[in-house]
Amino acid sequence: MSDQSDPGLFDKIVNLSKRRGFVFPSAEIYGGFRSTYDYGPLGALMLRNVKDAWFRSMVQLRDDVVAIDAAILSPPAIWEASGHLENFNDPMVDCRNCNERFREDQLEDPDTCPNCGAKGSFTEARQFNLMFKTYSGPVESDAAVTYLRPETAQGMFVNFMNVLTTTRRRPPFGIAQVGKSFRNEITPQNFIFRTREFEQMELEYFVPPDEGAQWLEYWCTARLNWYVELGIPREKLRLRAHDADELSHYSAGTFDVEFLYPWGWGELEGIANRTDYDLTQHAKHSGERLEYFDQATGERYVPHVIEPSAGATRTMMAFLLAAYDEEEVRGERRTVLRLHPLIAPYQTAVLPLSKNERLVPVSREVFDLVKPNFMTEYDETQSIGRRYRRQDEIGTPTAITVDFDTLEDKSVTIRDRDSMDQVRVPIDSVVDALRRRLGL
């Protein structure tokens, strides 16, 4: 597996992402646009798979969670109630020498500029609100102010009664959402780790007030295990409790699932006990009741909320870093992304031994047989060895080779990415054989 202590690992992932089509700098032909990235043919597939794996775990395989897809644009009233207009700030300083801006709380040395090395050159810190503000309608006025959401959570809180009424759920139950969020970060950094436009995978889990602590513990364990099950080694993950001085204004307790990035431990996902803060605030500001009435007991209460919140793009980056490996095979260097089949861009590839006119039609038939069941790539260019190496490097767990023996025995060879072992399988059994190998 990849060695997170390797100082070159980060650059290797960035270079591989560009070269193989995972992630491109946005607007690159115009010189790029800072902190925005476009997900290429492989990146789009992998990012979708990360989100699908999360959704499968958090919604599909549970009977106590439902999904919504709330609007990205929202009125100031929501963010006033949530506290974001007042509290969603970072301390910003400017270097008087080089004019670069930084988050004061992320400086290694609060007296030395990390860009130019000047000492004592920072301005006084001032609070900078991270929300993107725009206007709805043709007139730019205070009455038309609109915000791009900085988190998906508030859409779930303001829809609490809608979901409660239409689904007839009772606490404990959850509302899940995957979608874009926007934060005007002062210092976006480390590739897709911290960007101004990103995707979140969030769950708001509503529980009786006296059950908050036990559900916080439950979700910390469940979310840590999810990353392990999808291939991140346990020793590269840890749970870290927030100190009192770093808790958000709504939190009665927060843990971070942290990953060992090449630059050190960093947040992968936050799991917070938001208490009844959000529902109470929105009820107060909207004048609507946001509470649960238990008909069996006659009890009426405002549920507390446990929130596991992960970034899909940041998660994808962690999976890439954890999966990257290099090894020597018969005197040659082999680069492998040992991605779990659920999140690999392709689960398999169909590779005719050559572009021989007798092999291509059969290869196409195999491709047509496999592609409805698995995301499959077809590749007939270059030597078979080079094509194996390319599939290894982009993380494809299996490859199906069609050779001249196939014309006689109606069988193909399935090659395993990690072990490089090969097994002969009849064409009419290839889908079942792949399911067993991939565990899908």
Region 183-197 average pLDDT:
83
What the chain holds in terms of domains, given with CATH numbers, is 9-75+150-320 (3.30.930.10), 346-438 (3.40.50.800)
For residues 398 and 390, give the distance between their C-alpha atoms in angstroms, rounded to a whole number: 12
For 321-359, give the secondary structure using H, E and C. Answer: HHHEEEEEECCEEEEEECCCCCCCCCCEEEEECCCCCCH
pLDDT at 88: 76
SS3 label, residue 129: strand
pLDDT at 5: 54
pLDDT at 365: 97
pLDDT at 411: 97
Q: What is the pLDDT of residues 296-307, one digit of tens each?
A: 899 999 999 999
pLDDT at 185: 81
Q: What is the pLDDT of residues 214-254, one digit of tens each?
A: 999 999 999 999 999 999 999 999 999 998 877 777 778 89
Contacts of 436 (CB under 8 A, 6+ apart): none
For residues 130 and 245, give the distance between their C-alpha atoms in angstroms, rounded to a whole number: 20
- Quick check: pTM over 0.95? no
For residues 102 and 90, give the distance between their C-alpha atoms in angstroms, rounded to a whole number: 10
Element (H, E) at 437: helix 430-438
- Residues forming beta bridges with residue 276, ordered by sequence position: none
Whether 178 shows a pLDDT value over 90: the answer reads yes
